Structure 1
Amino acid sequence: MKRTSSLLMTTLFGLLTTGTPMLSSAQRTQKPPLHGKHWMAITGKPLAATAGAQLFQQGGNAVDAACAMLAATCTMWDVLSWGGEMQALIYHPKLKKVIAINALGVAPSGATVDFFRSKGYEFPPEYGPLAAVTPGTPGGLCYMLAHYGTKSLAEVLAPALEMAAGYPIDAQTATSIERGKERIKEWPYSKKVFLVHEGKSWEAPEAGEVFVQQDLHKTLSKLIEAEKKALAAGKDRKAAIMAAYDRFYTGDIADEFVRGSKEQGGLITKADLANWKPIEEEPLHVNYKGVDVYKLQEWTQGPAMLQSLQMLKNFDLKAMGYNSASYIHTLYQVMNLAFADRDFYYGDPYGKPKTPIQGLLNESYAKTRAATIDLKQNNPNVLPGDPYPYEGKQNPYLSLLEQRKKEFTPHTELKNDFVPKHDARSSSSVKDLSAAALMASLSVDSAYMDRLLRGTTSVEAADEEGWVVSITPSGGWLPACIAGNTGVGMSQRLQSFVLDSLINPFNVVEPGKRPRVTLTPSMALKNGKSYLSFAVQGGDTQDQNQLQFFLNMVEFGMTPQQASEAANINSNQLWLSLGGTKTDDRKPRSGSLLLDKNTAPAIIEQLKSMGYSIQLGERTSGPINAIYFDQQHHTLWGGSSNNGEDYGIGW
């Protein structure tokens, strides 16, 4: 963050009681706020935002635009590919309700605890064919477009198809390919696609070079061809789109995907692809000060934000002041309680055992949990609570919780060198800090931070008819293992399972089961109407940053752009969901707290006295992408973070 904390503080406290952002300070940000009357398209890449704008200009709705942005970002590879997973929240203006789409893949045949333990793993692997769940993005996109869009698949895929034929690659993606080239060389189909200058000192494409993906172009063309044939045969629009879906999951694309996966040691079978289906489901929600906040079910970490909001009702955050020591401490403790519950109780709601989600979201349970917080000192060993009595049930895992308490002690000593390697936009070293800040900073090891912040992207779209879409897609990120000649990178999401029920009995790997993921878009309604749509990249930090973005607007009256740029805090006192095949890699870092590097020294000292290990950085706010619905003026406000390539277009 390049703004000083004092500048931001001056913009926070002239708040309007109506909840409308302050117009007088709307421009006091690094990036200008977006304004639109008809539509808004925001995502993690400028070219992908342009794809969304194209669909809007062609008369499409927000679902059409969101699908075009999703397809484009998958084609650009930076933080996801076509073999990854997606999930969405959609506001349906005619039904006046929020709909959830679950397009997360499942563990393939053979993905068992015994299989991975026989290979010496304590968690499933991070990379390669054994890290893959079944691809969900193609199916989720087709389902969402068929049921809620207006355009054909050919129209929605047109920008991505043109990009697959060749687009000028950005420096960030090119650098990611070069950085991961040794692993990419392990997989023949990945090497063929990515290392276009093999044998030279720089083997990846160069920034600005036209990057061609012939195999992916053929795969996308096959999807469009299937739709075209179905339409020629008299099928309606929806059936024609689903004909393309069938070709991917049961046809010749599936054949090549499975062949290529198995050749490289993968487990996915043709039956695994054919049996997988996206699920339309009811989202979860809580009300916070008159705002209904919606998240996906507990197969994501999304309910952790809802649990946090339930607990925060018991504190006067506005009186504490934005990012005061007491505010930071309260947020940290509340998030730790929510994540302790996430780490033990969240999992696939369609599997067994059944998660106690209603108890976890119960307001009385939240009040009980909040009452355990020491307002003067960090609790270095926060434990999961017992939500079962709040569902009128007895907890079947009390003995497991006792055993867990004895066997797992969190990390209290931190290693040096914080340089997150997964993403150039997040590379912020303590070397960049002033001498005083450096002395105040206790660094954490780079491998851990790489896992904590591992990226994805977000897709936000809204239109004047009232359709709203929020997506946090991911999977198949660089370095990616491509499945045969499909041009499709396989997911790495299997790593979010556990092999030990002592860590989480609800999230133990087994074939056909979904892992509990970090992916977590958000949506909020006020007075029964759209109020906010927002999402963020960043692994386990996603709901931490989204919670603070929401509070920045609701409690402190920031505009969406101010809230997306505002300095956040991040807790590392949680079990990592990504990376590391050993238990020790993923344990919580007790008291580890990331602060903005411009945090006042007095606040840093106060927090250190409360038991925190302080680490300072520039990348503390996301990056958040958001759309705010101005109910007074019937216009759209866009917010897009200032610390990445995130980009929005409005009209």
Structure 2
Amino acid sequence: MKKLFTIFLSMLIVLSAQSQSTQKPPLHGKNWMAITGKPLGATAGAMIFSQGGNAVDASCAMLAAVCTMWDVLSWGGETQALIYNPNTKEVLAINAMGIAPSGATVDFFKEKGMEYPPEFGPLAATTPGTPGGLMTMLAEYGTMSLKEVLMPAMEMAKGYPIEAQTANMIEGRKNLIKEWPYSKKVFLPHLGEEREAPHAGEIFIQEDLYNTLKKLVDAEAEALSSGKSRKEAIYAAYERFYSGDIAEEIVRGTREQGGLFTMKDLSDWKVKIEKPSSTNYKGIEVYKLQEWTQGPALLQSLNILENFDLKSMGYNSSQYINTLYQAMSLAFTDRDFYYGDPSFEPKSPMQGLLSKEYAKERAKLIKDKNDPEIGPGDPYPFQGETNPFLDLLKKRKDAMAYYQPELPIQGADDPFLLNFQSGTTSIQAADKDGWVVSITPSGGWVPAVIAGNTGVGLSQRMQSFVLDERLNPYNLVEPGKRPRVTLTPSMALKDGKPFLSFAVQGGDTQDQDLLQMFLNIVEFDMTVQEAAEAANIHNYHMQSSFGAHESKPGSITLNQEIPTWIRRELAKKGYKMNFLERTSGPLNAIWFDWKHNSFWGGSSNHGEDYGIAW
């Protein structure tokens, strides 16, 4: 009897585990869904939806809220978005990446003894992009006023209970913050005390930021009172930020602290509405931003992996991990050498890089063991041209001062790992009328230089440029140029309708996590929440886009629950392993259930990301 009871109890435990296979429940909604990096940010989106706004309105409100909360970004950072327009049934791309300011040249930084532009400080800053990106999205595709959309963020700027993650980050970086007078004024309310940063739960007040946001709302109100349309009034606020008194204070405050911004840098900069890059994977159209981001590397990875039967390998088997790792190495080393701002010469060979024929040739290079010698290929023949940089390609490894194949990652606090995974939040929104928005905003994370009395924290994205053409002739720093960034929202359509909208924070690991989430759903039949929490791997064969731009070929992060026999097989294949408790993101996604006309939301168990649906 006791034995039967034990068997029965075991069956109950198994059934319970099967019925709740994820740590967080999936979100379900039929009218709208709002997901982002902080609970209060998701609440801002829900507030806008409840007032009748569409997914663009709600995503703009979430963007404003997370910028105000310093969720690894600020108002002076950059915004990248993909939007599905149900009226045109097309995916469009928002490029609100700031540019290198006047005077930011290769020679300027080399004369200062730098191998790369700096990680922090006023010389790390590109021009602010997020305000322009938010206002452009709202003006072109939203329905509400700027005042309505900014209201949650403005209330937060007056004072909100700061969460422990950000408060502790401020305390940990306070020595850097003290170097910049306007940052010290905002971030350190307890200057001179043992803890100088705000305490968790303390009401954090940003008076200067509130005043800046109010100026935007006032500019909109003045334009509306003079008979301007909703759209024209939002662009009046845009002009005040980039050409008016706000711009003047940003320039004054930045230059006072050693930065290079000019009024012309801000006024000449414009948000771009672009055609996204895309590929077809087994009948699913996958969309990413252009090659000024790392996004096409995910498309290249899919093109390579399409040549293998991944499902038969099994999820996270040693064969699957080895194939996936090398496919990413092949795609991301191409990213390292060939990607850059397409508005400048030379132009990246994207036709060749994204061709299926090139992918087949790259797939032939995948071995049954780790290959630390994988490097960029030559895509030019696949677009009928001759590579003008073959000589640089041969010299590339000599220029990689931080190419460290023999140094494994030392643990979760390894500075290399922290740099590799740094920055960014993500925003997902969808509504019953068909609008879908995927955003990966970033820049201006703590410790940020605040631009004068604006409350606007400046980006640190200049560090993603290179100063040596042997590393990447397409991404050399130049005034007016956008750096090749890691920021990479994603969207997929199937049968002409939205299938998956997904994004993640995490620096260079972003498209690695997004690739695996997509494959988890498409190849391994996971639900969106299972895919968001699933154990991913991280590859360090490519160069970090931050700090010293290090590379550690053969180093791999695995989930600590990976079985012993798989670890043993990977060790035999030459991988240097480290293990973390959670390796899932944080991923945020919306999957579209057209059979039942509803949304499924996934938000991984990795960070503080949170969603609300109705």
**Fold match (TM-score > 0.5):** yes
8 Å Cα contact 1:629/1:635 also seen in 2: yes
**What are the superposed Cα offsets for residues 220-278 of structure 1, whole Å, 9 maximum, x if unpaired?**
00000000000000000000000000000000000100000000000011100000000
Give CA-to-partner distance per residue, 1:54-94, whole Å, 9 cap, x none: 00000000000000000000000130000000010000001
Structure 1 segment 372-383 matched on structure 2, within 5 A: 372-374=365-367, 376-383=368-375
The question of 1:508 aligning with 2:476 is answered yes
Indicate whether 1:401 and 2:364 are aligned.
no
1:87 maps to 2:80: yes
TM superposition shift of 1:407: 4.9
Shift of 1:590: 1.4
Q: Deviations over 1:136-158 (max 9, x none)?
A: 00000000000000000000000
- Tell me the CA shift for residue 631 of structure 1: 1.1
Task: Give the structure 2 partner of residue 368 of structure 1.
Answer: 361
Q: Name the structure 1 match of 2:230.
A: 237
Matched, 1:467 2:445: no
Aligned residue type for 1:600: P
Unaligned runs of 5+ in 2: 1-16
Deviation at 1:414, TM superposition (A): 1.8
Give the secondary-structure state (helix, strand or coil) at the position aligned to 1:158: helix
1:17 corresponds in structure 2 to: none
- Counterpart in the other structure of 1:331: 324
- The Cα shift of 1:331 comes to 0.3
- Match for residue 186 of structure 1? 179
Q: Distance in 2 between matches of 1:209 and 1:179?
A: 17
Aligned counterparts of 2:269 and 2:411: Cα–Cα separation in 1: 39
SS state of the match for residue 301, structure 2?
A: helix
CA distance in 1, matches of 2:359, 2:476: 26
Q: Distance in 2 between matches of 1:67 and 1:498?
A: 32
User: What residue in structure 2 maps to residue 621 of structure 1?
Assistant: 584
Q: Which position in structure 2 is the counterpart of 1:7?
A: none
How many residues get paired? 598
Matched-pair contact (CA < 8 Å) for 1:78–1:172:
no
> What does residue 630 of structure 1 align with?
593
User: 1:475 is paired with a residue of what secondary structure?
Assistant: coil
Is structure 2 residue 560 aligned with structure 1 residue 597?
yes
Counterpart among 272, 293, 299 of residue 300 in structure 1: 293
In 2: Cα distance, 1:457 partner to 1:327 partner: 29
State yes or no: 1:648 paired with 2:611.
Answer: yes
Q: Report if the CA contact (8 A) 1:72-1:163 is conserved.
A: yes
Structure 1 residues 464-484: Cα deviation after superposition (integer angstroms, max 9, x where no partner): 000000000000000111000
Taking a change above 3 Å as real, the CA distance of residues 472 and 217 of structure 1, as seen in their structure-2 partners, is same
Kindly indicate whether the alpha-carbon contact (under 8 Å) linking 2:409 and 2:416 is maintained by their aligned counterparts in 1. no
From 102, 123, 133, the equivalent of 1:109 is 102
Q: Flag as ranges the 4+ runs of structure 1 deviating above 6 A.
A: none
Aligned partner of residue 578 in structure 2, secondary structure: strand
2:341 alignment partner, SS class: coil
Q: 2:219 and 2:57 mapped to 1: Cα distance?
A: 19
User: Contact (CA 8 Å) 2:427, 2:439: kept in 1 or not?
Assistant: yes
Which residue identity is paired with 1:81?
Answer: S
**Does 2:529 align with 1:566?**
no
Q: Deviations over 1:438-478 (max 9, x none)?
A: xxxxxxxx110111110210000000000000000000000
Q: Is the 8 A contact 1:26 1:559 kept in 2?
A: no
Match of 1:99 among 92, 101, 115: 92
Query: What's the TM-score once normalised by structure 2's chain length?
Result: 0.96
2:197 aligned counterpart, secondary structure = coil
Instruction: Assess, with a 3 A threshold, how the Cα gap between structure 1 residues 26 and 103 changes in structure 2: closer, same or farther.
Output: farther
- Separation in 1, partners of 2:209, 2:455: 4
- Give the aligned CA root-mean-square deviation in angstroms: 1.2
Q: Which amino acid aligns with 1:346?
A: Y
Alpha-carbon deviation of 1:372?
Answer: 1.1
Distance in 1 (CA, whole Å) between partners of 2:42 and 2:496 is: 28
Once the 2 structures are TM-superposed, how far is the Cα of residue 25 of structure 1 from its aligned partner? Answer: 5.5
| Residue 120 of structure 2 is aligned to residue 127 of structure 1 | yes
Partner residue of 1:152 out of 145, 152, 160: 145
CA distance in 1, matches of 2:511, 2:346: 25
Q: What residue in structure 1 maps to residue 515 of structure 2?
A: 547
- Do the aligned partners of 2:416 and 2:550 also contact (CA within 8 Å) in 1? no
- 1:31 and 2:24 equivalent? yes
Give the conservation status (yes or no) of the 8 Å contact 1:166–1:210. yes
C-alpha change, 1:259 and 1:331, in structure 2 (3 Å) is same
Aligned counterpart in structure 1 of residue 547 of structure 2, from 562, 579, 594: 579
Q: State the one-letter code of the partner of 1:263.
A: E
Amino acid at match of 1:328: I
Letter in 1 for 2:499: Y
Asked whether the equivalents of residues 625 and 639 of structure 1 are also in contact (C-alpha less than 8 Å), the reply is yes
Query: TM-score, with normalisation over the residues of structure 1?
Result: 0.91
Q: Note if contact 2:408-2:576 (Cα within 8 Å) is conserved in structure 1.
A: no
Give the direction of change, closer, same or farther, for the CA distance of 1:512–1:206 in structure 2 (3 Å limit). Answer: same
Structure 1: segments with no counterpart, 5+ residues: 1-23, 421-445, 581-585
Q: 1:404 aligns to what SS in structure 2?
A: helix
Q: CA offset at residue 115 of structure 1?
A: 0.5
